[in-house]
Amino acid sequence: AAKPKLHYFRGRGRMESVRWLLAAAGVEFEEEFLETREQYEKLQKDGRLLFGQVPLVEIDGMELTQTRAILSYLAAKYNLYGKDLKERVRIDMYTDGTLDLMMMVAVGAFKPPAEKEETSAKTRYFPVFEKILKDHGEDFLVGNKFSWADIQLLEAILLVEELDASVLSDFPLLKAFKTRISNIPTIKKFLQPGSQRKPPPDSHYVAVVREILQF
Ligand SMILES: CCCCC[C@H]1O[C@@H](O)C[C@@H]1SC[C@H](NC(=O)CC[C@H](N)C(=O)O)C(=O)NCC(=O)O
């Protein structure tokens, strides 16, 4: 079968969680990088962007947009979505939380340095996941099986640590979780240099996105 094809800027943004999920599932994927306004306008003109927006993922003969819809489809497809409805809704709750946190941090690259985004990680999000790990008492967040929720929490931890390396100092269970999940072979490989993981946003990335989206 054809490899999934991801259409987005050459950066993290909203597509990075899709790259993480595919990599963790051991699925190879191709990328088409939007570098110019013309490329973006062509996707729009060709009617490939439902709401005129990227991320766009070509998979299984479909053209998917809307990040959460894409992630949800991939989690179900690669059996990373729990064993039943009750586990799936917990995974949805947890991943909505980590996605909110990551979007806050990511948009920070496009705003003047105002309130420290990592504060909400320390005060709102990470205490919740520390408690989940404590109460659940398993290696993984949901059931006792690796899921989309684990992948995305690790992505969020590493993202916030780029802003504040000591952010886990008050969260021993999250520290152990980070080590455990980082050592899963497919994730370990994705964390090595040369993988399709994208670097933190820099001024060039911000300038290209602004140029393409004209904002
Ligand atoms: C997360 C921040 C990283 C970089 C900036 C991105 O965040 C957004 O502010 C812009 C980009 S992402 C690009 C942006 N895409 C979205 O906002 C998608 C939102 C959608 N709900 C999703 O989840 O996929 C875009 O195509 N905009 C064109 C325009 O709406 O006409």
Measure 104 CA to ligand 1 centroid, in angstroms: 13
pLDDT for res 115: 63
pLDDT at 130 over 90: yes
Q: Are strands 62-65 and 56-59 parallel, antiparallel or unpaired?
A: antiparallel
pLDDT for res 116: 67
pLDDT for res 114: 63
Q: Give tens-digit pLDDT for 79-102.
A: 999 999 999 999 999 999 999 999
Q: Give tens-digit pLDDT for 151-205.
A: 999 999 999 999 999 999 999 999 999 999 999 999 999 999 999 999 999 999 9
What DSSP string describes the chain?
-PPPEEEE-SS-TTTHHHHHHHHHTT---EEEE--SHHHHHHHHHTT--TTS-S-EEEETTEEEESHHHHHHHHHHHTT-S-SSHHHHHHHHHHHHHHHHHHHHHHHHTTS-S-S-HHHHIIIIIHHHHHHHHHHH-SSSSSTTS--HHHHHHHHHHHHHHHH-TTTTTT-HHHHHHHHHHHTSHHHHHHTSTTSSPPPPP-HHHHHHHHHHHT-
CA atoms of 167 and 165, how far apart (whole Å): 6
Measure 54 CA to ligand 1 centroid, in angstroms: 6
Measure 121 CA to ligand 1 centroid, in angstroms: 22
Mutate to test the pocket of ligand 1, among 10, 213, 214 (most ligand atoms within 8 A of CB): 213
pLDDT at 118 over 80: no
Q: Give tens-digit pLDDT for 5-44.
A: 999 999 999 999 999 999 999 999 999 999 999 999 999 9
pLDDT at 109 over 80: no
pTM assigned to the model: 0.96
pLDDT at 117 over 80: no
Q: Give tens-digit pLDDT for 132-155.
A: 999 999 999 999 999 999 999 999
